[in-house]
């Protein structure tokens, strides 16, 4: 056994957003090489934002990610609007949260059903899975559709929506349209509850490990579209303080800019959010935690699946709460004057913290931009997790079992490789 030497190449990871590959080499009982490589060429968004008008930023940054454009738009708006002495109206604040709920719903439902569940039910993909589990797959596609409908309500379309603007929205939906959608959202709540129970009933690996959690926290509600950074190490930071503790590195033996928190890998995303903010879950979800016997905080990364299901329930509940009291506004936006300077903003994208910084000149043009997407923040954590999870799983497993486990570990983070604008492909000596 000690002379065993295997090399596992997954040239193209499936069921992740964007393209990457994984390479493992095991000698005897040791993992001697582990490389998560990313194919995505850099697209240089931060550079071509320079010289663009502040009002154009929302339409440009949406294109960083087709799966989480709303998160990019809201983080950018939070950053730019911080340069104004005026605030957006309470109506805009509420509707932005409802808009954002649509993205959590859509992205989480897509992830659970099309990307993650086939691993647990033993299929290569969701379409094959649908032949044996038609009701579960249809339920998931319906929830995903609800999220898309919610984004369309404010954005016209669910991918690269066109409704968001500085100061609010271009357009307010009519009260009738909102009421129709609220009825549908209410009709999906039972599906969401069943989904949580279903996810909690899956035989998820029990694999506790210690990691630092980072998530936004808001005093009034479960943080989503705004808040301050809280870490499980006790730090509390506003958006302007982010760069004092979080640093990005370009490692020559790696394929991406990696972030660390004062030198340590950390987790951002649904499980980190639940771990930090679970006390703010509404009563019905506190009861759900009891029903399914889910202890928080959790140190099992495989619980990310359940965390997403719970956040689907939360997003539905929040959207219904916000839209039940919908009133057509006097104006869907107010014109803000932006002072020249540096604006910082962030929000909780479905897959984690998304931080933006813009320098605006006195002509109202962007001088410099910096964007730190969730996937580059999770990158160091993913590799750390792979190392220990595979060793703990047992390196003596056969190649297929090791590969499946490695892919499951990676999918727990719902990496969005397209999103990680800094990512690049590293040419490395291949076998």
Partner 1 sequence: MAKPRIAVHKFSSCDGCQLAFLNLGEALLQLNEQVEILHFLEAGMSDVSADVDIAFVEGSLSTPDELERIRQVRANSQYLITIGACATSGGLQALRNLDGHHDEWRDAIYAQPEFIHTLKNVVPIASEVKVDLELWGCPVNSVQILAAVRALLFGVAPVDDRDRVCLECKRQQTVCVMVTQGTPCMGPVTRTGCGALCPRFGRDCYGCYGPSETAQSETLARRFAGLSLVPDAIARRFLLINSQAPAFLQAGGVFYRSGAEDPRAGDQDD
Q: Which stretch binds partner 1 (CB under 8 A): 22-30, 96-104, 118-126, 390-398?
A: 118-126
Place of tokens 């993909």: 125
Nearer to partner 1, 227 or 269 (CB): 269
Closer residue to partner 1 in complex, CB, 114/214: 114
The span from the CA of 212 to the CA of 235, in Å, is 11
Q: By CB under 8 A, tell whether 188 contacts partner 1.
A: no
Among 18, 265, 270, 374, binds partner 1 (CB under 8 A): 18
Among 30, 33, 48, 174, binds partner 1 (CB under 8 A): 48
Rounded to 10 deg, the angle between the 175-201 and 283-292 helix axes is: 20
Residue 159 or 395 having the CB closest to partner 1: 159
x/- map, 74-113, partner 1, by CB under 8 A: ------------------------------------x---
Options 62-70, 217-225, 301-309, 378-386: segment touching partner 1 (CB under 8 A): 62-70
**Residues within window 226-285 making contact with partner 1, judged by CB under 8 A:** 249-250, 252, 257
SS3 250: strand
Q: Does 114 bind partner 1 (CB under 8 A)?
A: yes
- How many Å apart are CA 43 and CA 85, to the nearest integer? 33
Please identify, using beta-carbon distances, which residue of 17 and 191 lies nearer to partner 1.
17
Residues in the chain, total: 431
Decide if residue 160 touches partner 1 (CB under 8 A): yes
Q: SS3 for 308? A: helix
Number of residues forming the site for partner 1 (CB under 8 A): 70
- Cβ partners under 8 Å of residue 134, min gap 6: none
Tell me whether residue 13 or residue 322 sits nearer to partner 1 (CB atom): 13
Q: Does 184 engage in binding with partner 1 (CB under 8 A)?
A: no
Sole binder of partner 1 in the list 6, 32, 127, 331 (CB under 8 A): 127
Residue 368, classed as helix, strand or coil, is strand
Q: Which is nearer to partner 1, 200 or 409 (CB)?
A: 409
Take residue 234 and report the two structure tokens written for it: 């006790």
Sign of CA dihedral 395, 397, 202, 34: positive
Q: 387: closest CA among 365, 368, 361, 405?
A: 405
Interface stretch with partner 1, choices 8-16, 25-33, 307-315, 387-395 (CB under 8 A) = 8-16
- Helix (H) or strand (E) holding 169, with range, is strand 168-169
The full DSSP string for 25-75 is EEETTEEEEEEEEE-PPP--HHHHTTT-BGGGHHHHHGGG-SSSHHHHHHH
Residue 167 binds to partner 1 (criterion: CB under 8 A): no
162 binds partner 1 (CB under 8 A): yes
Name which of 46 and 207 has its Cβ closer to partner 1.
Answer: 46
Residue 338 is classified by DSSP as P
Measure CA of the first residue to CA of the last residue in the chain; give whole Å.
23
Per CB under 8 A, 178 contacts partner 1: no
Using the minimum distance from each CB to partner 1, give the nearer residue, 161 or 265.
Answer: 161
Residue recorded with tokens 């993650």:
116
Report the alpha-carbon distance of residue 25 to residue 33 in Å, rounded: 5
- List residues near partner 1 by CB under 8 A: 12-19, 39-48, 51-53, 56, 59-60, 63-67, 69, 110, 114-115, 118, 123-127, 130, 134, 137-138, 141-142, 144-145, 148, 156-160, 162-163, 165, 170-171, 249-250, 252, 257, 416, 418-419, 422, 424-427
């Amino acid at each position: 056994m000690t002379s065993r030497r295997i090399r596992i190449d997954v040239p193209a990871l499936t069921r992740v957003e964007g393209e990457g590959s994984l390479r493992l080499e095991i000698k005897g009982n040791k993992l001697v090489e582990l490389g998560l490589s990313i194919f995505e060429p850099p697209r240089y968004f931060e550079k071509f934002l320079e010289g663009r008008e502040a009002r154009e930023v929302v339409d440009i940054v949406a294109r960083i990610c087709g799966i989480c454009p709303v998160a990019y738009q809201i983080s950018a708006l939070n950053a730019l609007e911080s340069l104004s002495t005026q605030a957006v109206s309470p109506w805009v604040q509420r509707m932005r949260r409802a808009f954002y709920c649509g993205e959590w719903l859509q992205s989480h439902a897509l992830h659970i059903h099309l990307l993650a569940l086939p691993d647990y039910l033993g299929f290569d993909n969701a379409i094959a899975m649908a032949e044996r589990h038609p009701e579960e797959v249809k339920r998931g596609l319906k929830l995903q559709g609800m999220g898309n409908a919610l984004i369309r309500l404010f954005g016209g379309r669910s991918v690269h929506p066109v409704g968001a603007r500085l100061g609010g929205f271009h357009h307010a939906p009519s009260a009738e349209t909102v009421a129709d959608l609220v009825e549908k959202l209410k009709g999906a709540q039972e599906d969401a509850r069943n989904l949580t129970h279903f996810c909690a009933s899956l035989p998820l690996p029990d694999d506790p490990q210690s990691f630092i959690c980072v998530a936004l926290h808001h005093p009034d509600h479960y943080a989503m579209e705004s808040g301050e950074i809280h870490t499980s190490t006790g730090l509390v930071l506003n958006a302007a303080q982010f760069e004092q503790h979080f640093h990005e590195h370009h490692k020559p033996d790696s394929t991406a800019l990696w972030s660390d928190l004062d030198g340590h890998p950390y987790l951002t995303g649904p499980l980190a959010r639940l771990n930090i903010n679970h006390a703010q879950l509404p009563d019905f979800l506190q009861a759900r935690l009891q029903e399914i016997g889910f202890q928080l905080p959790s140190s099992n990364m495989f619980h990310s699946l359940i965390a997403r299901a719970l956040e689907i329930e939360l997003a539905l509940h929040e959207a219904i709460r916000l839209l039940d009291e919908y009133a057509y506004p006097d104006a869907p936006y107010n014109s803000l004057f932006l002072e020249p300077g540096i604006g910082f903003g962030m929000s909780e994208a479905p897959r984690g913290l998304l931080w933006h910084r813009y320098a605006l000149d006195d002509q109202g043009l962007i001088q410099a931009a910096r964007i730190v997407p969730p996937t580059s923040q999770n990158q160091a954590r993913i590799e750390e997790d792979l190392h220990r999870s595979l060793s703990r799983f047992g390196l003596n497993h056969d190649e297929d079992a090791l590969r499946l486990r490695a892919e499951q570990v990676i999918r727990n983070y719902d990496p969005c490789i397209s999103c990680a604008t800094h990512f690049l492909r590293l040419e490395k000596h291949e076998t």
